[in-house]
A and B are shown apart, each in its own frame.
Chain A
Amino acid sequence: MSTIRIRSPAAYWLAVPAALWMLCAVVVPALLILWVSFWGGRQFSAASPLVLDNYTRFFGNQTYMNLIVQTLIHTATLMAICGVLGYCIAYFLVVKVRNAKLRTALFLAFIIPFWTSALIRAIAWVPFLGTNGVINNALMGLGLIDRPVEVFLYSRTGISMAQVSLYTLMASGPVVYMLAQIPPALREAAMTLKAPPGVVFWRIIFPLTLPGVVIGQVLVFLNVMADFATVATIGGNKIALLANLILNFYEGAQIRAAAVVSVILMACMLIGVVAAMRVVDIRKLGA
């Protein structure tokens, strides 16, 4: 017994406002994008004939095809870096740090920047990366280079550096959650049975944290694929990925092309999420 009866009409009606809001703000707009991507003609009109021209034009352009490949490669790189780094940090925080206060302090230091503006954090990387930036000055001060190197600002290296600092927490958080659920007795049992540390990790700990790893990878994947702000801030106008293309098309009043890119982006994300769901059942996480 609780303040709400199971399967009562009240429960149903309480859900209606939130459901309606999400339908109007997310589901209907997504369907509209799909619809507009098939519009022919030039007017912005619901009476536009439905054609495939927008897609054939997009897929016929080699530059755009390259952009899709580059975006996927860039995202995969970030997933790998953030995944390994995030797992190491999660493992250290949960398993290696014994002092509860120290663990809380480190965890807060890890998580607090995540709650501040991602835009500001991306901008904060700019003074680091320029030819006159902190990194170049430090490298020159150490005598490692004698001329400023230009690989950082307006480059994919610089974008990746900033994105690693932005998204590692997303790869790490779910792993922390899964690691914290593993009873210590499990490891002790394995050790008692003379399993070497490597075997304990790869055969027991890692498989148990796999759902967390996958969720983390999905989060990094979704965020990097959709991140246009870091790319625009650090890449200047020199680098563009798929999400920036939507922005460019929209600002150039090419609504149909923007819709096509959006649909492709959504399709990529959907495939990614479905593939991840095949590996693990996300619903089990909450249980």
Chain B
Amino acid sequence: MADWLNKRRWAKQVLIGLLSCLIILSLLALPRNQDWMQGTVQRFYQQRQNLGAKLDRQSRERAGYGKAYQYVTLIKQHCKPTDYFLIPPQRYLIRKAYRIGASDGYAWLYPSVLYYHLGQSVQLLDMTMPDTALRRATFTFWVKKGTLELLRLTSANHRDVLATFRQYNPSFFAYTPEQARKYYRSTK
């Protein structure tokens, strides 16, 4: 009798288990859930397959930070802690080299993002600082023939660079690629 009851309890558990499966399958069959599971979640698993084996910090930072990684690495390679990096106005880069920064809207120019990546490896200068401070600038980013380059500031180019940067509002900030796109389109 006990054995029979045990079997019956198991049978009921299996039946309710089938109900669980049915509920899950019904939820998965709903179009949005299906799209999400087969799209986004599958893409994440794909990403893991491609990246999962790499465990070194550098590969992970390169993949995570995107283009910002290239630019901050460039600054770190060329600047010393005693150098002053002049943060160019975001509007300047958006207008002069939109295609290069379309995917991130140059949001990595945000002073705290640069500080997060660079720390004290270089001194950051903001365009709103007084002229006496800006005179100390030794590096900046400059657009030349549609490409972005790290420019060493010298007495020969210092004045021209500042004059160009001053044409753009230094307090403007596009936090998202959409905001950058909106600004870029408004200038066309």
Same assembly:
no
Chain A residues with a Cβ under 8 A of chain B:
none
Chain B residues with a Cβ under 8 A of chain A:
none
